[in-house]
Amino acid sequence: MDIARMIDHTCLKAEAHRTEIRTLVDEAMIHGFASVCVNGSYVKSVSKTLRARSSSVKTCSVVGFPLGAMSENVKKIEATVAAKDGADEIDFVGNLPALVEGDVEVLREQFTTIVKEARAVNPDLVVKVIIESAYLMKDVDGVEAERRIAAACQAAIEGGVDFVKTSTGFHGAGGASVEAVQLMKKHAGPIKVKASGGIRTYDDAMRMIDAGANRLGCSAGVSIVQGLASESGGSGY
């Protein structure tokens, strides 16, 4: 298993400077991460750099981040702009009240709107929806938590989304958990699961992968792969 190819190397803080983003891109290329995940203002420059270097690393943009509280029309525009700017992948934040309600029809309509418009620009665009799983599972019993997760996954499948993603990493309820990833994997069917939020070590990463995650979103990607090298006795990093 090539854990590096499962990592979206991420920098989403509001104060991120262009020098930090350049470092992020360099690190992603050195270690062979799946993507560089950035805010929309950096998508064009990241995409241009990666393509100029003929890199296999993809450009990923967040959309509706971090609250997901704007209208789906606004998210649609943001997703379309990201695709035009060169994003290969987008991670958009779902509408949290709708996710809590677990109304598959409403969620499917929201997801489909974003997917359809963004893929009109880039038919190969990989789309991930962030569901804030920690909040969906907070202060409710296991049955209700699973109902909410299952509804989000069903809507994602029917809405043409490629991944369900645990968290923005910005919500007070918390980030990824083994329990959430397991539930998402159980209900995701043909689509994939991305774990993000609080994944800082190799052991954290492996717990998420063992729970069923296909992709990891983290700012500590270098530390994680260096931990892998240490565990295996390698010195390549």
CB 104 within 8 A of CB 139: no
Catalytic member of 8, 85, 88, 91:
91
Catalytic member of 165, 185, 192, 204:
165
Q: How many CA atoms lie within 13 A of 104 on its CB side?
A: 10
How far apart (Å, rounded) are the C-alpha atoms in residues 119 and 125?
6
DSSP structural state of residue 139: T
Q: What's the distance, Cα to Cα, between the start and end of the chain in Å? A: 17
192 is catalytic: no
Catalytic member of 75, 76, 192, 194:
194
How far apart (Å, rounded) are the C-alpha atoms in residues 4 and 128?
19
Burial of residue 112 (CB within 10 Å: 0-12, 13-18, 19+) is: middle
Q: Residue holding tokens 């990989």?
A: 126
Burial of residue 220 (CB within 10 Å: 0-12, 13-18, 19+) is: buried
Nearest CA among 152, 121, 126 for reference residue 61: 126
- Could you give the C-alpha distances from 223 to 46, 137, 212, 218, in angstroms and in order? 22, 29, 21, 10
Tokens standing for 95?
């509408």
76 is catalytic: no
194 is catalytic: yes
User: Could you give the residue numbers annotated as active site?
Assistant: 91, 165, 194
